[in-house]
Structure formats: C-alpha cells, structure tokens
Structure 1
Amino acid sequence: MPRKLTEQTNGVYAIAPTPFRQDGGIDDASLDRLTDFYAEVGCTGITVLGIMGEAPKLDAAEALDVARRVIRRSTLPIVVGVSAPGFAAMRSLATAVMEAGAAGVMIAPPPTLRTDDQIVTYFRQAVEAIGDDVPWVLQDYPLTLTVVMTPAVIARIIGDNPSCVMLKHEDWPGLEKISALRAFQKDGKLRPISILCGNGGLFLDFEMERGADGAMTGYAFPDMLVDVVAHARRGEREAAHDLFDAHLPLLRYEQQQGVGLAVRKYVLMRRGILASDVQRKPAAGLSAAAKAEIELLLARLARHDPRAQLAAAGAA
C-alpha cells in the first residue's frame, strides 16, 4: 500500500480527468489506461476527483467507485478530492477512500468564505470532520474558488492543523506567495510543508525556482512536467526552461477558462489514452476551428518533443 502524504512529498501528482463514454457513463477502460499511463511516464502520484475531474458531476457512489478503482490499480500514492458543500459528505468520502488505501485527501474552501477568520475556522472544522489522522492538501485556487488566502492565513491554517502536510498552490500571480511561505519557514514562523503547484503548470518553470516541490496539475503531457521538475531539482536550469518553453503554446491554450478541460481531454484522446473526449453536461465542447488549432500546436510541438508526434487525427 502506498505511503501516506507527508510534508516531504515532492514530484508530479497528475490531476486525473474522469473519462466518460458517449452515453455519459464512466469509461472504466480509459480510466485504467490513464492510471497506468501516469505511472509509465514517471508521475510520483495521482490526484482524482479534483475540479478538473468533474467531481461535482458524479454522484457519491460514482465518486467512490472512481477513487477505489484508481487506488486498486496503481502502486502510486493517490490523493482524493473530498471537497463538499457539507462536512457529512466530506467525512463519508474521506473515511471510505482512506480505508481503501488513499495517501491523503484534498480540501478546497467553499466560495462563501470571505474573512480570514472564516477561512481558518472552516479548515479547523473540516479537520474535525475527517479526523486529525488524515493527511490532507490545502487547495489555494482563488481564480476559480474566489477565496483569497494570504501567506499569513495559509500559515495560520498549517499551524493550527498538523495533519495539513501540503499546499496545492495555484494562485495567479503567485510566485511571491511561494517566496513568502518559504521565508516564513526559514524564519521559523512556519513548519515545513510540501508545495505542489497547479494552474496547468503554466508557471512551473519559475515556481520550482521559488521553492516549490513539484506540480499537482493535469496538463495533457505530464511527462513534460516530470522532466521539468527533474531538471529543476538537478539544477539544470536551461534544460528545464528549454523544454518548458517548447510546450508553453499548447499549455497556454489548454489553460483557457471554460474550454480547458475539453482541450486536455482531446489531447489525451489523441495520445491514445482516452477513448473519447466526452465531458458530462453541462460542458463546453471544442469547435472544428479549435481542434484545428490544437492540431497545429501539436505539430509545432513535435518539432521539439517527439512525444507530440501523433498520427493524423482520424487515421487508423
């Protein structure tokens, strides 16, 4: 059974999309391929039921089935998103996935929180709900969740809750936040904490230089994220930036609000991992023009990274 998350966790945790069949049912075969793929390309772990995993579109039984299936299939540590409107649902899912062998859970703040005290109190109550023996990831994603957590507030949450072992950092701009948190740590104002970064990896090159421990995100080329993190950890700055820069046009395209998941699923389908790029409704699809743009970006990327050399769309 994979070890639990700790404050020393590092590397790349791939945020897994949930594959669906054309009829909207969960595509178990694609989920298995996706799980295997993440291990094959060198990911350190996998995160399921995140925002990009369409978790709100799954019912409780489906969510648990997805988490259990990935946990059973992979030898990698699995983090499960357990954010929910109420603590009863959060507790139920967290308990079930930890019993199934999850390495930890991830909790995002509800959009209704506004003041610092409200935010700090919410996470204290969340820990009371799931149990203080469950290692968990604090998700900081103000662009989508609208909850702004300053470095001082994050430090308060971490200080109040020893079971919080990781920050999923995806503020934007957020480089200075990483620097501030590491400065707190250096000054003894913050205990050690793992920082993995999201936002599709859009700022990973500099986030690593600011003190991040890796990435927790779902870019359709997680193998690139693995390589960039490895280069950065070895001090190979030019190699890290060269590879990152080659992927940046596609990564930027994938990061569009509203259609980003559609782009990600389309590319994973083109890579032969997903059988289809279907999302559960409500969802935004890709137009023919958008697909043509993605194909252009893939062809241009293939000049620098052979992993993007894919058979022509529609080819047998």
Structure 2
Amino acid sequence: MATDRVPADLLFGSNIVAMVTPMKPDNSIDDAAVANLVDHLLSTGCDGIVVGGTTGEAPTLSDYEANELVRLVKSLVQGQAPVIAGVGTYDTAATVRRAQEAEAAGADALLLVTPYYNRPTQAGVVAHCTTVADATALPVMLYDIPGRTGLALTSSTIVELAAHPRIQAIKDAKGDLFEAMTIMTQTGLAYYCGIDELNLPYLASGATGVVSVVGNVAAGRNAELIRAVRKSDLDRAQDVMRDLIPLTDALMRTSSGAIMAKAALAEQGVIPHATVRLPLMESPAEDLTKLRNALRTVVVPVA
C-alpha cells in the first residue's frame, strides 16, 4: 500500500466533471465557448476538470489540440480546480509522450485509461501504467472502463498498481461495487465513481467523489449529493439522486454522453453549438425531446 498520500480531493477534487470539448460548426475547437463552459462549471460547484477524456472526444483530438486545451483550461481555472489531462492510449510510448506534454502544458494530474483494442495481459497493463506514472511527477488516476476498452483491471492488478507512489486514484466505470469496497479496505487508493447512474451507492460506500458527465450540466446537484453523503444525510442524498434520474437517463442512456452533454449545454445557452466530430453525430430528435423534458424538470427551464 502506498503511504503518506496527499488527500485525493486536494489532488483531483471530489466533484469532478468530465468536460466536453466545445466545437464550432466547422469542427474547430471554440476557445470562447471553452471559457464560458469553465466559468459555468466552477460557478456550479465543480472542483476538478478532466480535459481531453472520453467525454471530451479524446479519440478525435490531435495531440496539439489536447495540449492547447490543457493550457487554456489551466489559465481559466486560475487555481480554483485541478486540471486532469486524459492521456491514455493503447501505445505505451505514445501515452508517455502525451503525459509529458500534458505536464509541460500545466496539467495538475493525469487520467490513464486501461489500454484498449490490443488487449494486453494484466502484467502488460501493470507495466504500461507504471511506465507512464514514472514518466512525470504528476499524480495519476487510473480509469477502469471495460465496456469501452474490452479489458477490465483485476483486483490484484489494482492492488499492485496502488503501491506506486504516484498512482493515487481510480475512476471506476466497471460497476463492481463489492470489488471497489474491498480494494478501498486494502489500499490507500481513492475511488471515484465513473458511472453517473451509481454515484450515490459509490459515495455511500466510501468513494472520494465522482467523475461525472452529468456534471457538465448539473455540477451543483452532484455537489449537493456529495455533501449529503458526507453529512450522513441519506434521505437528502436519496432525494437528490432521485431528482437527477430523468437527466441522467437522458444523458447516459440514449446517445453517447458526449453527444447529449453538448446538446444539454447548448440548450442551456452555455455553449453556442452542440457540434461533435465524426464518427459521433448530433443528438437525434427523439433523444433531444427527452433531454429537453429532463432539463425542464430537473435543472433549469428551457425557453
């Protein structure tokens, strides 16, 4: 077990948002919309921002764009929240380079997804993650999302990686709550829920916080949820989670979270366009209707 850890909420935050990457209709990144979005996130309770993660359409961002986003967001937050750069790929050498470039661009921490597509062994995953963690001085949050990568981290792999002094946390999008609770008791690793539908049970089981897509739209409600759990106010926590069900359903159970979060932010007037890059496409009409209904009842009225 790694010892003498800095509290994870200081390194990463607790109410973390997996930020979308605002784009213009020509597919270029909209810096002005990024600035407005960052202001929106900070003003609604977000205390950590993931830049260039899955929700930020990392697969279609060039290395240059990813690094410029880190620089821009870092300049905008002005120390109010850690900037966590998504750097994971299926190529260890490329991931090391991206991690070092993110550090140079000003990132406060790294989000490192399990290598995807080429399906390494667990020993290969350990070697990949420790090589990347050794490449910078930044704290690392692992990202376990087998539904997208095709490869889950085993319990023994997570415990082994937790011994690395810079591997401080994990974003758990696997959904095995018993495994999460077990590893929390065995390591100093901080757990973050990476499945918006399960934020309450993870928090109630000891998770440090959330890395949320829904937080793009409703970071304030996630902040309420986290506060209620920390105060052991289960009734209030349940009320908040129930209130969020329509929005969570509309964002996470229809099209891609990146698609729907951008659509919601455009509906709110936070960003001017819901543009996404192919192969993603903007929300179909039926999903947009469902989203608008959720926004009316859960967050803010939609004109």
1:156 Cα deviation after fit: 0.9
Which of the numbers 123, 127, 143 marks the counterpart of 2:129?
123
Match of 1:137 in 2: 141
Corresponding residue number in structure 1 for 2:61: 58
Partner of 2:73: 70
Per-residue CA deviation, residues 8-40 of structure 1 (Å, 9 max, x unaligned), is 325211111000001111011110011111111
Q: Answer yes or no: is 1:249 the counterpart of 2:267.
A: no
Aligned residue in 2 for 1:179: 181
Aligned equivalents of 2:297, 2:42: Cα separation in 1: 26
Distance 2:7 2:180 in 1: 15
Tell me the equivalent position of 1:149: 153
How far has the Cα of 1:113 moved from its partner?
2.9
- Structure 1 residue aligned with 2:207: 212
Offset of residue 257 of structure 1: 6.3
- The structure 1 residue matched to 2:91, chosen from 65, 69, 86, is 86
1:197 paired with 2:193, answer yes
Q: Distance in 2 between matches of 1:101 and 1:59?
A: 17
Equivalent residue, structure 2, for 1:222? 219
What's the CA shift for 1:215? 0.5
Which residue is 2:109 aligned to? Answer: 104
| Partner residue in 2 for 1:15 | 18
Any gaps of 5 or more consecutive residues in structure 2?
none
Match of 2:271 among 249, 274, 295: 274
Alignment of 1:260 with 2:257, yes or no, is yes
C-alpha separation between the residues in 2 aligned to 1:8 and 1:109? 20
TM-score, normalised by the number of residues in structure 1: 0.87
Counterpart secondary structure, 1:216: strand
CA distance in 2, matches of 1:157, 1:263: 34
Deviation at 1:258, TM superposition (A): 4.4
Q: Go from structure 1 to structure 2 and tell me whether the alpha carbon gap of 1:309 and 1:106 turns closer, same or farther (over 3 Å shift).
A: closer
What is residue 236 of structure 2 aligned with on the other side? 239
Partner Cα distance (2:174, 2:254) in 1? 15
Q: SS at 2:191's partner residue?
A: strand
Partner Cα separation in structure 2 for residue 81 and residue 260 of structure 1 = 16
**AA aligned opposite 2:191:** I
Cα pair 1:34 1:273 within 8 Å, conserved: yes
The CA deviation at 1:51 is 0.9
| Amino acid of the structure 2 residue aligned with 1:18 | T
Paired residue for 2:47, among 44, 47, 55?
44
Q: How far, CA to CA, are the matches of 2:246 and 2:190 in structure 1?
A: 28
Q: 2:22 & 2:258 partners in 1: Cα distance?
A: 11
Distance in 2 separating the partners of 1:254 and 1:103: 28
CA gap of 1:257–1:115, structure 2 versus 1, over 3 A, is: farther
For normalisation by structure 2, the TM-score amounts to 0.90
Q: Structure 1 residue 114: deviation in Å? A: 4.6
Residue 30 of structure 1 is matched in structure 2 by 33
How far apart are the structure 1 equivalents of 2:232 and 2:44? Answer: 21
In the alignment, residue 123 of structure 1 is paired with which amino acid?
C
Larger CA deviation: 288-297 vs 62-71: 288-297
CA drift of 1:58 comes to 1.2
Change (3 A) 1:119 1:100: closer
Give the CA deviation at 1:227. Answer: 1.1
**Kept after mapping to 2: 8 A contact 1:259/1:285:** no
* Number of corresponding residues: 291
In structure 2, distance between residues paired with 1:7 and 1:231: 20
Match in the other structure for 1:305: none
The question of whether the paired residues in 1 share the 8 Å contact of 2:296 and 2:302 is answered with: no
